[in-house]
Structure 1
Amino acid sequence: MLHRITLHLARCSEYPEGSARHGYEIIAPLDQNGLLDPVEWRSRRNHCRVRRFWGSDVDRHGILVHRPGGSGGATWMIDYDPNRSSDDEAGYRLSKHRFIPGEYVSIQDEDDKLHTFQVVTVQEVKLAGTAPGA
């Protein structure tokens, strides 16, 4: 089942209280434990979208991809432009982190800077034209 996950920047030196103005909104499949589900991702990848909001910067829109390689045999990435890889952002061990409110995850931006985010909300997404539980 797809979920809308909202992440806010966690406390860091630049934002000692964290920041709700910096983060991500991710549409992704989660299993019953709140882990990203690569099997369901394969069948719903066209719906797995990401919006990056970063203060006063223009929002960036991309797709969530699951690529071979990396820790555990695969890496979850955010791909903003399928024609180049220099703008991709990698999740740090996202396959091991639970997406439930209060938990933390890390994403490495295109400048190779690792940021930590707190999971703020997780909501089920109902796709138009799908039956409940589909």
Structure 2
Amino acid sequence: MTLSRIVMRLARNPGTEFAGGDDHRGYALTAPLTADGHLDEATYAKAKAECVVRRFAPDEDAVEGRLTRRGQNWFFDYDASDSADDEPVHKLGQHRFAVGEYVTVNDEDGRPLTYKVVEVQPAG
């Protein structure tokens, strides 16, 4: 079973305080990918405990969580006992994780923000 380390940094988000993006805000995600860069659902089912996420920003402590799935919806979950903290990831199962691709994550206030994939490597 192969897992990948994916780093996404905040991209340009016109109309927000992040209009120019912010390379110091983002996510580091460990997840299984198919050969074409999509989430590998079969491998995820076997490796859920290893599928983790770390949210980072310069003005807050890093937050550790897990990649979770309910039905066809994927979330970054920071507290298994409370779904209020979940950050939905827009159509995550359809995204291709390759450098230069974009992913939309709803922040803790429910606001959709776009992130750019800047790194995809085998997890060590």
TM-score > 0.5 by shorter chain: yes
2:9: which partner in 1? 8
What is the aligned counterpart of 1:28 among 26, 31, 40? 31
Q: Does the residue aligned with 1:86 lie in a helix, a strand or coil? A: helix
CA shift for structure 1 position 15: 2.7
Q: Does the residue aligned with 1:36 lie in a helix, a strand or coil? A: coil
* Percent identity of paired positions between Structure 1 and Structure 2: 40
Q: How many residues align?
A: 121
Query: What 5-or-longer segments of structure 2 have no aligned partner?
Result: none
- Stretch of structure 1 that moved more, 54-63 or 9-18: 9-18
CA shift for structure 1 position 110: 2.4
Give the alignment of 1:1-134 within 5 angstroms.
Answer: 1-13=2-14, 14-68=17-71, 74-126=72-124
Q: Does the residue aligned with 2:46 lie in a helix, a strand or coil? A: helix
- Stretch of structure 1 that moved more, 91-100 or 16-25: 16-25
Query: When the two structures are superposed, what TM-score results if normalisation uses the length of structure 1?
Result: 0.86
**Take 1:109 and 1:17, find their aligned partners in 2: how far apart are those partners?**
17
Q: Does the residue aligned with 1:58 lie in a helix, a strand or coil? A: strand
**1:38–1:66 contact (8 Å) kept in structure 2:** no
CA shift for structure 1 position 107: 0.6
Query: What 5-or-longer segments of structure 1 have no aligned partner?
Result: 69-73, 127-134
Query: When the two structures are superposed, what TM-score results if normalisation uses the length of structure 2?
Result: 0.93
Letter in 2 for 1:112: G
**Take 2:51 and 2:119, find their aligned partners in 1: how far apart are those partners?**
17
Moved beyond 3 Å, runs of 4+: none
